[in-house]
Amino acid sequence: MAGTEYFGAEEKKEINDVLETGILFRYNHDTQRNHIWKARSFEAEVARLTGAKYAHAVSSGSTAVTCALAAAGIGAGDEVIVPPFTYIASVEAVIFAGALPVFAEIDETLCLSAEGIRKAITPRTKAVLLVHMCGQMAQMDELMQVINDHKLILVEDAGQALAASFNGISTGLWGKTGCYSFDFFKIATAGEGGVMVTNDETAYKLADNIADHGHDHQGNNRGMENHPVLGFNYRISELHAAIGLAQTRRVPMIREKNNIHKKHMMAQLGKIAGVNFATIPDPNGDSATFLNILLPNTEIAMRTVEEFNKNGVTGFNYWYTNMYHFINQWDHIKEGRVAAKTNVQLLGAPQDYKNLHLPKTQETIGRLISFSIKSGWQDDELNELLHKIGTCIKDALLVAAKH
């Protein structure tokens, strides 16, 4: 959990700046805040890191996806192609936008594939919500060909892929809008927070309105501001933004250390026959927050997880049985269990969510075990972990071979 490894003087300084002014609200109060604008500074730092023309900070990665969809014009009744492997917030955001999720196949990048998107397109498809999973990136050249050929809107959820890029372009900036998460488990954290990014000025202005009840933020009298569009409260506080600002400054250092550790892990574990890794379309653009191991089949992966648990190996995720990241466990979506009716119930689901045929996805996630990479690992600590991982995998492979 890279960002949470580093809390120190920098974070305290940024927080104390806010506490000394007493202004926790990100807007107005110009005189009292003494030129302290942490949300603005946080946005500027994210824009600098990613190369985005515009960045808008909000209360969470989930609300960042919500803003990204709305600012891209995605709404009621629109079909949106989504992955079946993602944190469930991505799909929730589509549903609560009034749109209809259409699940498509992923590939060994762990992201939607160009072929998966192509097969899922219908005459009603308006957009693709691409999620860059586990710190990596999708095959963007192939995907953009499909997106452009079918004149679809691309929205990117790079919640797990801040600081990742493909051919020099940051994840989140290939589509009309994109977003990052700064929750407690990301490469940089604000405690809770998110940032929507775009190179489209109109989309940025809409997000700025949408995230604050439609306010246009013109002038210094909040009670007299105009409301160009309807919005809601997705604001980030100055305290959360202060932490996010300090943490974002650390990201280049974290990314560099992550990559050193990940390359070492791949070199060592790659010597084991039967061990492969998720495809990284641009290794130079990897944020390296996860090591993504692909084993020969689901049975061996499950046996390996059993060996990990038996031998006290921690810090991994077996997504195939994870309750919030994989469609197999999303019974509430499959069965339409909601607190209040959505457009999925009103208009009807575009797919039979209970009986989806996604064999490539099932096969890939069944084989996948991901380890969170700590940038602060010492060499002896990492090598001890690698020895345990390797021993467990070999034992699982041996048991499988006997059967």
With a pLDDT cut of 90, the percent of the chain lying above it is 97
What is d(CA 46, CA 233) in angstroms, rounded to the nearest whole number? 21
With a pLDDT cut of 70, the percent of the chain lying above it is 100
Per the structure block, which two tokens stand in for 347? 């208009």
- Residues 264 and 391 placed together within one structural domain of the fold: yes
What is d(CA 136, CA 155) in angstroms, rounded to the nearest whole number? 16
Among residues 250, 284, 313, which one ends one of the domains? Answer: 250
Residue 4: what pLDDT? 85
Q: Write b or e for each residue in 98-120: b if 16 or more Cβ atoms lie within 10 A of its Cβ, otherwise e.
A: bbbbbbbbbbbbbbbbbebbbeb
Asked whether the beta carbons of 360 and 116 are under 8 A apart, the reply is: yes
Q: What is the pairing mode between strands 316-317 and 368-372?
A: antiparallel
- Residues 93 and 146 placed together within one structural domain of the fold: yes
Which among 149, 35, 10, 82 is positioned nearest to 326, based on CA atoms? 82
Three-state DSSP class for residue 369: strand
- Residues 36 and 93 placed together within one structural domain of the fold: yes
Residue 98: what pLDDT? 98
Which among 22, 18, 20, 53 is positioned nearest to 39, based on CA atoms? 18
Helix axis angle, 379-402 to 238-269, nearest 10°: 60
What is d(CA 3, CA 233) in angstroms, rounded to the nearest whole number? 26
Among residues 250, 282, 308, which one ends one of the domains? Answer: 250
Residue 220: what pLDDT? 87
- Residues 21 and 88 placed together within one structural domain of the fold: yes
What is d(CA 5, CA 48) in angstroms, rounded to the nearest whole number? 23
Q: Does residue 332 fall inside a structural domain? A: no
pLDDT tens by residue, 26-74: 999 999 999 999 999 999 999 999 999 999 999 999 999 999 999 999 9
pLDDT tens by residue, 204-261: 999 999 999 999 999 989 999 999 999 999 999 999 999 999 999 999 999 999 999 9
CATH number for the domain spanning 261: value is 3.90.1150.10
- Residues 163 and 56 placed together within one structural domain of the fold: yes
Q: What is the pairing mode between strands 169-170 and 165-166?
A: antiparallel
Tokens 């993602």, residue?
A: 86
Q: Does residue 329 fall inside a structural domain? A: no
Helices (H), 128-237: 140-149, 201-210
- Residues 149 and 81 placed together within one structural domain of the fold: yes
- Residues 167 and 223 placed together within one structural domain of the fold: yes
Q: Does residue 386 fall inside a structural domain? A: yes
What is d(CA 261, CA 371) in angstroms, rounded to the nearest whole number? 12
Among residues 193, 228, 250, which one ends one of the domains? Answer: 250
Residue 293: what pLDDT? 98
Which among 36, 70, 271 is positioned nearest to 179, based on CA atoms? 70
- Residues 150 and 165 placed together within one structural domain of the fold: yes
- Residues 141 and 44 placed together within one structural domain of the fold: yes
Q: Does residue 56 fall inside a structural domain? A: yes
Question: Taking the C-alpha atoms of 217, 219, 221 and 226 in order, what is their torsion angle to the nearest 10 degrees?
Answer: -50
CATH number for the domain spanning 103: value is 3.40.640.10
pLDDT tens by residue, 115-141: 999 999 999 999 999 999 999 999 999
Structural domains of the chain, count:
2
What domain range includes position 291?
251-322+361-402
Q: How confident is the model at residue 89 (pLDDT cuts 50, 70, 90)?
A: very high
Q: Does residue 352 fall inside a structural domain? A: no
The answer to whether the Cα torsion of 243, 249, 252, 256 is positive or negative is negative
What is d(CA 253, CA 80) in angstroms, rounded to the nearest whole number? 36
What is d(CA 398, CA 403) in angstroms, rounded to the nearest whole number? 9
Residue 1: what pLDDT? 56
Residue 267 predicted with pLDDT over 70: yes
Q: Does residue 280 fall inside a structural domain? A: yes
Give 204: exposed, middle or buried? Use CB within 10 Å, 0-12, 13-18, 19+.
Answer: buried
Is the pTM above the cut of 0.85?
yes
What is d(CA 74, CA 67) in angstroms, rounded to the nearest whole number? 10
Looking at every residue in the chain, the average pLDDT score rounds to 97
Residue 157: what pLDDT? 98
Q: Does residue 163 fall inside a structural domain? A: yes
- Residues 201 and 266 placed together within one structural domain of the fold: no
Give 9: exposed, middle or buried? Use CB within 10 Å, 0-12, 13-18, 19+.
Answer: exposed
Asked whether the beta carbons of 112 and 142 are under 8 A apart, the reply is: no
- Residues 136 and 81 placed together within one structural domain of the fold: yes
Residue 201 predicted with pLDDT over 60: yes
Helices (H), 273-357: 298-310, 331-334, 343-347
Percentage helix, strand, coil for the chain under 3-state DSSP, each rounded to 5: 45, 15, 40
- Residues 241 and 261 placed together within one structural domain of the fold: no
pLDDT tens by residue, 335-361: 999 999 999 999 999 999 999 999 999
Q: Does residue 313 fall inside a structural domain? A: yes
Residue 256: what pLDDT? 97
